[in-house]
Amino acid sequence: MTGQETTKRICVFCGSSFGRGANFAEKATELGVILAKNDYGLVYGGGTTGLMGCVAKAVASNGSYVHGIIPDALVSKERKNLDEIEKMNHDLKESVSNHKGATPLNDSYGKTTIVPDMHTRKRMMAQEADGFVAMPGGFGTLEEVMEITTWSQLGIHAKPIVLFNIDHYYDEFILFLENCVKRGFISPENGNIIAVATTPEEVIERLKTYKVPEGRFNLTWRNQ
């Protein structure tokens, strides 16, 4: 299988940091492997650090398509080799405070498109993807998964959205969404827009069996 033969591409939202504990990085790598084995390509936020780097390297090294889309401001201007990237990631595993925001690029992590801003990045990722998976991450990841979920509710797209709840990371977030339904700010039907998985295998299953919930807004969107 080559990257060009991949028919479907999954956009993965996740942290450019590793989080505390090895489990997040291990599961990100496992997800990348299983995506490639199921003939999925990857669209992601670009770069080589943290969980983003783990999933991209795993997909690319298993022969599938990888496309990173990253704003120019987040690109490290010094192109680094793999040894230097490994050293950078080692430091990042020690503490998220070692992350300065920018990330180096390397062809081993797939092809990269550099764009001028975050809005262009998110639009291109959404347009290219056939589905979305959110792994653990910080502010950016939460914003991305909420935006793409809102777009589904508004009828802008009808693609699967899966929350990969590694090591109970999203338990409180899931409870918050359930409370939004309970309090009447999200309809029960729209509460089903996000599917939840706890293993890489479940992620694939949720992507393949996803059913678009009834009750989403029936709006007409142009120039998307």
Please list the rounded mean pLDDT of every run of 10 residues in the chain (224 residues). Answer: 65 94 93 97 92 96 95 73 71 66 77 94 95 97 97 94 97 98 96 98 98 86 61
Residues 43/85, Cβ–Cβ less than 8 Å: no
> In the prediction, which pLDDT does 187 show?
96
The CA distance from 35 to 132, in Å, is 12
Q: pTM for the complete prediction?
A: 0.87
> In the prediction, which pLDDT does 35 show?
98
> In the prediction, which pLDDT does 1 show?
39
Q: Write down all domains in the chain, each with its CATH number in brackets.
A: 3-209 (3.40.50.450)
If residue 125 lies in a helix (H) or strand (E), which one and from where to where?
helix 118-128
The CA distance from 151 to 158, in Å, is 9
> In the prediction, which pLDDT does 82 show?
76
Q: Which of 36, 53, 192, 203 is nearest to 133 (CA)?
A: 203
> In the prediction, which pLDDT does 111 show?
93
pLDDT in tens, 111-170: 999 999 999 999 999 999 999 999 999 999 999 999 999 999 999 999 999 999 999 999
